[in-house]
Structure 1
Amino acid sequence: MTEQLASRLLADGIEEIDIDSEWVDDLPVLRDVLERHFGSAVAGSRLTPSPQPDELRAALLNRSARLADLVERLQGVLLGDASAVVVRKMHLDHLDVDDRGVLLYCLAAGMGYPTGADPRRNQVVWPVTASARSREFEAARPELDFEAEYHTDSQYHPDPERYFLLYAVRAARCGGGDNRVRANAHITEFLAGTPEGRKAMRVLEALDVPFRIPSDYADSGEAPEKRYTFAPILAERNTLRWRRDTVEKGLADLPEYDHPDLRDALGMLESALAEAPHEVRLTLVDDSFIVVDNHRAVHARTEFADLDRHHLGIRFHDTQHVR
């Protein structure tokens, strides 16, 4: 393996790799595939899920061996022991933001089934930027500048996406906005180490909990609308479904689902999220990138003050997803 294609273990379950720069040279070919597929000119900010994603994936990978190689490498790492992969340089920084979005869309489409960011706009490549939205609005996206606690993405969906990617167009310059990632296996190992933790795991596996769907993702997009997804927090193969505020809002609205044993279990889970070993804390510098297995890891972000921080995000199901 060349130095350029080296791999490094950041922590148990989190791996960093280097990639070749040449994949970016296939942008014209990949754009042509997308325009033929969608029947119109494309821009990263306007791309939506494909109505024929398997056909699109085959066309993209057949036309670009470089994209196919990158997809194979990322999937190989994620289907092994890693629950997250970091790439410090994606070689996109000479492109405008829309062209970067096109390439990231092609990468996600090569790995699986990209999804729309909300039920109205259906935008696949969504900007992650500071927002002036009121904290009273039940916002779901992580672009607000205060701290994002440990959570899984789309925990309020009946079928949360397997993966999400995050790409840094411009990192925060204020020293904040660091990403934190921890493999779920370390959280469940921490809980399994005590009788109280093992009891908490049984409760979290057994009880359906109401996750309040944030208003950004409800059909109307209005703050007063209240809808819920009911599911256990812990499932087989260390799969976690968690975000504290959506659970707390669901339990406040539907107190019949609240229970002292559940509260004890939630307290144990919060302790594990704070104290379990092998946390990775990193800053996504300009042109860096992370793919997280949303079923096998939780992630968080520290507070930041630089309102020019700009990332791009995509969520996608894996190719084994039953559509």
Structure 2
Amino acid sequence: MDARNVSEFVLSLRTKVSAGKLPLMEALQSQINVVVDFDDYPQDRANLIRHCEDLIHTHATADRAWEQPGTFAPQRQLQAVAPDLWRATVHGKRLVDGGSGFLVLRSTHVERYGGEVAQLICLFVSTVFGSPTKTDKRLRRFAWPVRYEKTHLNSPTFSQTMAEAGFHTDSQYLEEPERYFGLFCVTSDVRGQGTNFLVSASQVVLRLLELHPTALDHLRSPFPFRVPSVFTTSASDNDIEVVWAPILGEGTIRFRSDTITSALELPGVTLAEAKLAAIAAFERSISETPTLEYHLEPGEAIVVDNHAMLHARSPFTDSNRLLYRVRMKGQDRSTNAGQQGLADSSGSARTIGGTT
């Protein structure tokens, strides 16, 4: 990678994330531009909740309601029942796209309803950012429960455990990861447990340029990401699915160290020493880049630009902790077009084995 290409990559990301040394912390502390408080729109919120209750009464589940064909048009429904809340969140999205990289939502009331109504609230709000996608292939859920789950799988994914989740991007195992994701808190653990962290991808790349500039070339070449078992076709350990893709793309980033490690444990999947060293340099750069710490309380949510930020989570001990995660493909992109958020098992990017 020449200097011009490096500059273009950093510049592309810096159009999304503030170039200040501590952009996220300063933005959140000032409470400017990064918070939409639903308490400011109580009638709109009440209308939205009532609308969701009516839909659940008719369709029984959020997923069934969301899949109604033809005239369902969820964006238009949200604009109709909660126009002021819609406009405020649209303004927040512009700020996410223009520099903040994230948006906090407060007083959504998802904690008061839980279950199917809460999921529909999450989905309607998410349409401001894009089209919600289906997370898993077996149950095909739009709002994925992030909670401790006893599982028979050998390698449960982050959202099923109470363990620490290292810095990563969502759906890094898809050919085209969704542009945004939202975490909507129903039940939280005590502050400091299950706390979320964000780091600017552009800041990580700038630190990498200082520490190990030669790693950038390697990070732009393909790496193997093993699809977590719960997200494979039959949601079992018997499904072995691997996607090869660069960590640094065209103004985007994808990363999760454990899915790379899991792929490298498979027969025939290897990486050259230089690429392993590039991963180590990338992780060191993450560790030396300023981060935002934010603990979601019940009723709060955070929506993140998945192409410009990495996120992490501290471990927690309360098995009742529950968040709903919604991933959204951008309205101005073809991300996951025709896949509804699910990687196509017949796609050319999905391969087993290989050396690079």
TM score, norm. by length of structure 2: 0.78
User: Counterparts of 1:59 and 1:174 in 2: how far apart (Å)?
Assistant: 36
Q: Which residue of 1 aligns with 2:123?
A: 105
Q: Which residue of 1 aligns with 2:297?
A: 285
User: Counterparts of 1:258 and 1:321 in 2: how far apart (Å)?
Assistant: 31
Partner secondary structure for residue 11 of structure 1: helix
Aligned equivalent of 2:260, options 247, 256, 260: 247
The yes-or-no answer on 1:263 pairing with 2:273 is: no
Q: Which residue of 2 aligns with 1:76?
A: 94
**After superposition, where does 1:1-323 map in structure 2 within 5 Å?**
10-11=24-25, 16-19=34-37, 20-22=40-42, 23-27=44-48, 30-31=51-52, 40-44=58-62, 48=66, 55-133=73-151, 137-173=154-190, 175-194=192-211, 197-205=212-220, 207-237=221-251, 239-253=252-266, 255=268, 257-277=270-290, 279-322=291-334, 323=337
User: Counterparts of 1:223 and 1:47 in 2: how far apart (Å)?
Assistant: 31
Is the contact made by 2:137 and 2:233 (CA closer than 8 Å) also made in structure 1?
Answer: yes
- How far off its partner does 1:77 sit? 1.5
Pair 1:55–1:46, CA change in 2 (3 A): closer
Pair 1:229–1:53, CA change in 2 (3 A): farther
User: Counterparts of 1:116 and 1:257 in 2: how far apart (Å)?
Assistant: 31
Aligned residues: 306
User: Counterparts of 1:42 and 1:67 in 2: how far apart (Å)?
Assistant: 26
**Identity level (%):** 25
Gaps of 5+ in 2: 1-22, 338-356
User: Counterparts of 1:183 and 1:275 in 2: how far apart (Å)?
Assistant: 12
TM score, norm. by length of structure 1: 0.85
- How far off its partner does 1:290 sit? 0.3
- After TM superposition, the runs of 4+ consecutive aligned structure 1 residues lying more than 6 A away are none
One-letter code aligned to 2:129 = M
User: Counterparts of 1:60 and 1:18 in 2: how far apart (Å)?
Assistant: 16
Pair 1:186–1:314, CA change in 2 (3 A): same
* Residue deviations 1:259-307 (CA, integer Å, cap 9, x gap): 0110110110110111112x01121111111001111000010111111
- How far off its partner does 1:90 sit? 2.5
Is the contact made by 1:210 and 1:251 (CA closer than 8 Å) also made in structure 2?
Answer: yes
Partner secondary structure for residue 138 of structure 1: coil
- How far off its partner does 1:50 sit? 6.0
Partner secondary structure for residue 167 of structure 1: strand
Partner secondary structure for residue 253 of structure 1: coil
User: Counterparts of 1:162 and 1:49 in 2: how far apart (Å)?
Assistant: 21
Is the contact made by 2:93 and 2:103 (CA closer than 8 Å) also made in structure 1?
Answer: no
Partner secondary structure for residue 285 of structure 1: coil
The worse-fitting range, judged by mean Cα deviation, of 59-68 and 96-105 is 59-68
- How far off its partner does 1:178 sit? 0.8
Is the contact made by 2:201 and 2:309 (CA closer than 8 Å) also made in structure 1?
Answer: yes
Pair 1:13–1:214, CA change in 2 (3 A): farther
Q: Which residue of 1 aligns with 2:12?
A: none
User: Counterparts of 2:70 and 2:213 in 1: how far apart (Å)?
Assistant: 44
Partner secondary structure for residue 314 of structure 1: strand
* Residue deviations 1:149-188 (CA, integer Å, cap 9, x gap): 1111100011111111001111113741111111111101
Is the contact made by 2:165 and 2:315 (CA closer than 8 Å) also made in structure 1?
Answer: yes
- How far off its partner does 1:13 sit? 7.3
User: Counterparts of 1:107 and 1:229 in 2: how far apart (Å)?
Assistant: 30
User: Counterparts of 2:87 and 2:165 in 1: how far apart (Å)?
Assistant: 34
Pair 1:52–1:139, CA change in 2 (3 A): farther
One-letter code aligned to 1:24 = R
